[in-house]
Amino acid sequence: GENVEQHPSTLSVQEGDSAVIKCTYSDSASNYFPWYKQELGKGPQLIIDIRSNVGEKKDQRIAVTLNKTAKHFSLHITETQPEDSAVYFCAATLSGHTGTASKLTFGTGTRLQVTL
Amino acid sequence: DGGITQSPKYLFRKEGQNVTLSCEQNLNHDAMYWYRQDPGQGLRLIYYSQIVNDFQKGDIAEGYSVSREKKESFPLTVTSAQKNPTAFYLCASIGGLSYNEQFFGPGTRLTVL
């Protein structure tokens, strides 16, 4: 089955700096890679995702890159703000067709702390 | 206002007791999931269901049971057979055209006393 490794486990940056979180996956068939943000005591929320036919995707201050050959993908947050402080999870799956449930495999999470 | 609700938010249980966690969604999603989250670990899949009256074991199903009698509801029972049940439990659902984005509920924190 799929195995996802995520690094670092904790990351502290100053406000305004960039933050990068990296994940590797094992199953070359995986084709969908979402990133979730989880605030304390809440459920995770999808912040960005990428599919295997795309190398990079950007949404305002957040971007994700995918290297299929190396089987790794990264989350980039620019101009970090205190409200970016949270735990971030990467995940990977082989995307199912409509009517087939996808089983996400999650990384172990990165606790991002943005300091003033 | 569409979404996923989980209740209760906090739950305390004595050892040896079964307890049922509620998960309801009004998103008209077909697939629903239960995850367990422990400190310093990712989300681990307990059970999932693609359609009503059908469900499959995930990676850590031992000591848990589920039912899917209605599309909107996917309750999880933590049985006394679960050796270490204290954890944060998350319910999620998938639907829509992409059939990939998982929407999560707010979670239930279960503590065994």
CB contact (8 A) between residue A44 and residue B43: yes
Tokens representing residue B49 in the block: 């269901």
Residue of B30, B43, B109 lying closest to A106 (CB–CB): B43
∠ CA A84-A59-A32, rounded to 5°: 95
CA distance A58 to A60: 6
A73 inside 8 A of chain B by CB: no
**Burial of A74: CB neighbours in 10 Å, binned 0-12, 13-18, 19+:** middle
pLDDT digits (tens, 9 = 90+) for A59-115: 999 999 999 999 999 999 999 999 999 999 999 988 765 555 678 899 999 999 999
CA distance A102 to A96: 5
CB contact (8 A) between residue A43 and residue B48: no
pLDDT digits (tens, 9 = 90+) for A8-56: 999 999 999 999 999 999 999 999 999 999 998 899 999 999 988 889 9
A42 inside 8 A of chain B by CB: yes
CA B10 to chain centre: 14
CA distance A24 to A26: 7
Whole-number pLDDT of residue A103: 83
pLDDT digits (tens, 9 = 90+) for B19-33: 999 999 999 888 999
